[in-house]
Each structure stands twice: as C-alpha cells, then as structure tokens.
A and B are shown apart, each in its own frame.
Chain A
Amino acid sequence: MAHSQAASIGAHSATSHGAGGDEHAQNPNLQHHFYSMAQQLEASTLGMWVFLVTEIMFFGGMFMAYILYRHLYPAAWQLGSHHLNVSLGATNTIVLICSSLTMALAVRSAQVSSRKGQIWFLILTIVFGSAFLVVKYFEYAEKFEHHLVPGPTFNMPTEEYPNGIIAPDQEANHQQLFFSLYFMLTGVHAAHMVVGIVLMLVILAMAIRGRFSASYYTPVEISGLYWHFVDIVWIFLFPLLYLLGAHLGAHGG
C-alpha cells in the first residue's frame, strides 16, 4: 500500500484540491476525495465486501436459532421440512443460479463497454429475480391454505384435516418453531431480493443512459456482489429448509 501511494506522491502532492490530479480532469466519475479511479474502485469494492460481512452476521443470528432447535427437535424439523414444496424450492434455486449467471454477464458487458449486453443481461437478471418472488408468493399462499403459518391459525382444523394438517403425535408445537424460522429466513431473504431488484432497476436505468463502460463500471460490479450474496444465502436455505424431510413418506413415516 505504501508503495503505490509513494509512487503517486509526485503526481498530486504539489496540486491544490480543486483541480486535483490529472485523473480528476480526465474522468468526471472520479469523486473529489479520491485521487485515482483505481483507489475509488478499490474503496467501493472493499465497502461492499464489508457490507456483505454484516449481512452474513445478520442471517447468522437466524442460522444459530435454526441450529439450536434442529439439534433439540430433529424429528420435528424433518416433519416440518416435509411439508415444504421441494419442486418449487428447487425451481427457485435454479432460477437464482441463472440470475447470478446473467448478473455476472452484465458486469462483464460493462467491463468491455458493451451497452447492449449490459441492458439485456440486467433485464434478464431482473426477470429471474422477479420469477423467484412470484414462485415464493405461490409457496406462501400454499402454506397459508394449509394453516402452516405460525400464530393463532397454526394447524387449525380444516375439512380435509379435522385435527389440523399436523397429527397430534407429530410435535405440532415444535413444527410451529420450524415454520417460524422458515418464514423468518425466507421472508428476510425475500426482502433482500426485493432490494436487489430495485437496485438492478436503478443500475438498468443508468446503463440505458450509457453511464457504464470500461473506464467506470463500479456500481455494476458492487451491485453484482450484492446479488451473488443473496443468491448464496438461498443456496444454504434450500437444503436446510427443504431437503430434511425428503426421505419421509407420504405420512411422515
């Protein structure tokens, strides 16, 4: 670090702040308090990585709760998981992985100054992200119908299930814990997806106006980091929530 800064001593030590070094005049995207585009990109990228670390800690609290209760109530966790729709979950997993691919391609397009590439790949990413949320909506609706939403309606009797969808010997109260974590984890994740999509819309608008090219693509890159992170959280959530009860038969036996 000292090296690269020492090397630029000559470049900017004798100048006043207003005119900046050569780079300020060359690139209007260089903010006044940075002395080079390289420094600005490095700082922005480090900033996003630090933010993602905070997100890991944020989800981490819920993962801790999950780990504790799964350890205490392993049977209830499998039974609860069995109620989730593995096909929809798997579909969403594939959707998100595809969206990460298109996101990476959008960043690449910006790096090689391809405006068309940026726009198309960003649009695809937004489409995939929205598809994820639509599938989520259907999943949540299904849970709502089956009275698997924690709270006063949990495991309420229905015509099909006069004792509630969870039989008396299947630890309904512990399954309610499972579903509390399910809704909390996927709900917070979905909120992050919404933020991600809004972010992508903003980046798309900027891309359409031609803001990004090889000389300046920082916002695309750091938004991409955020998007990939949200994808990776889902990669953890899917097996932990959906795949525990996959081996169980129709009646949870």
Chain B
Amino acid sequence: MLKTFVCRFTTASLVLALAAPALAATQLTGAGSSFVYPFFAKAFYQYGQENKDVTVNYQSIGSGGGIEQFTAKTVDFGASDVPMTADEVKRAGGEVLQIPVALGGEAVIYNLPSLKGALRLTRDDIANIYLGKIAKWNDAQLKKDNPGADLPDLAIVPVNRSDGSGTNYIFTDFLSHVSPEFKTKVGTGKSVQWPASAAVGGKGNEGVAGAVKQTPGAIGYVELAYAIENKLSQSMVQNKAGKWAECSLDNVKAAAATKPDVSPTNFSIVDTAAATAWPIAGYTWAFVYQNPTDKARAKITKDVLAWAVTKAQPIAGTLNYVPLPENVQQTALKTLAKVSL
C-alpha cells in the first residue's frame, strides 16, 4: 500500500513539475536586505497587480545572504544595505551594477520610564555610552545635555545588534565618524566587537527593540519603522550643525540631499553637515549583472527595478522609508540603462 502511494505520488509530482513552467508567469527571484523587505513586498505586490505576467519573489535572508546568492546566480537580483565592495564584485565574476533603491533612518531608543519629555544626546554621548565611558544615566555629561531632566541613578545598558546587518554598519559608521576612539577600538562593520562591559546583544531589530523594552535603563538603535510601530521612546540627537534633530522622514531626506552624487564607492550619509539633518541614515542597494546571460529575464528585472526606484517610491513613504530624492532616482535609472541586453 505504501509502495503504490509512493509510486503515484512520484508520478504526480513529476507530471506537475514538467507542466508547471507552462502554467506560471515569469517569476523573478530577489534576495537580501531585510530592511527593505516591507517596501519590496508592497511594491512588487502592486507591480504584480499592474503586470499580470510578471511576479517577483523577494525574500529577506540578510544583506550578506543577498550578495552570496547573487554571486551564486541563484537569484535574478540582490539587495544589500551596504553596497558590494570591490572584492565582492570580483568574487561575483562580472561587472555588477548597483543602484540605490531605498532610504531610511535609524532611531536611538531608550527605556527610562521616569523621564518626561524626550532624551537629548550629543553625538559624543552616544559614542561614549557604547564605548563604556559613560556608565550611568545621572552622569554629569548627560545631565548637562538634559537640563532639568530627572535622570535616575541607574546603570546604562547599551544594547547592540548581535547579528550582522546593514543597520549595524550604518550605526558603527556614524560612531566612527564621530569618535576617533571608537574608530580605532571598534571600527565600522556589519558585525563588530562591542567594548562596553554592560553591553547586551539583541538579534535583529526586533531583538534590540525587545531588549530595550524589557530592560530599564537600556539604550539601543533600530530602524525608524520599528521605533514608530512599537511606539518606543526616541532620543533627540545633536547633529554636526549643532542643532537638536529628531529622527523624522524630512530630516533623513535633508541628510541624503547633502550627497546627490551617491555611488557604491561613496555611499555614506551619516553625520552630514545639513542644518536639520538626522545623522544616522543610509541607503539600501540593489544589484544586477551588467552582462547577463539570460537577456529576456534581465530585461524584465531591469524594468521592475526601474519601476521600483521611480513610481514605487511614494509607497516607500507610507511605510516609514524616505522616498529617494529626484536626482538619486535619475542616477539609478542611468546606471540601470547600462545593462547590456
């Protein structure tokens, strides 16, 4: 009985497997950054509504995973919060075109139930907290930056990302720009070794948000969407121009506007000099091959990505991403035009 069942099951599967290509529309696959996943999910859903013969299957396996799978040619395009380095491009074997597809900011969240009003931190404060040099909330420096605020005698628990991520990269990039000591001691990277003895690591944005929520006296960094959706207390940060900024879509936009010629080799937009700029922000990048082997699929991929960087950007705004600035959209389209079809 088992034998008959197995035989029939195998035959049925084979028949389906052979028939399936005839039934399905073209399905593109993309993989990578989890930061951009909600935006891509909504954008590609809408694209599928408007173009019935194309479906795009994007899965968030992490920026590194996106680069790996792109290199292994198991996906049509990849996405990463940090553009591929020269080494990674070489490993991928060919010329790779990288375009910015999304823009977002990171909020600094904290857990101080006794504090009324928003916390204020200078850039140095944040660096020193994560270096372990400021260990208590009622430290003199913090009191100075928050005059009149009721800062308790409580130990600071700096929460960091334990998993490798673009979010981590952007935050460490920011701290390295701000503090030479942080740059030498820790450095910039998707995954780093955090020096503070009281530090705790959380997995993913949700892990950091969860750890901060659960631990009185904790401080952490998450993508803006997490801070807003989970209604976490956000700190104001004093930017390079000396102004107190909050993490808002407009302020991230201001930061991005300072670098209209953003490119894969010059992509950092942290700690910018604009007056209202939010200092912790970054792009997400998508990449395709310049000389693809399957030209038909490459054309469809190119059309989808071109649509994503232009017509889909208003969708980004509804999900707490910042729509790409006009000039950046144009740069992206020009890069995409280089795909040789």
A, B bound = no
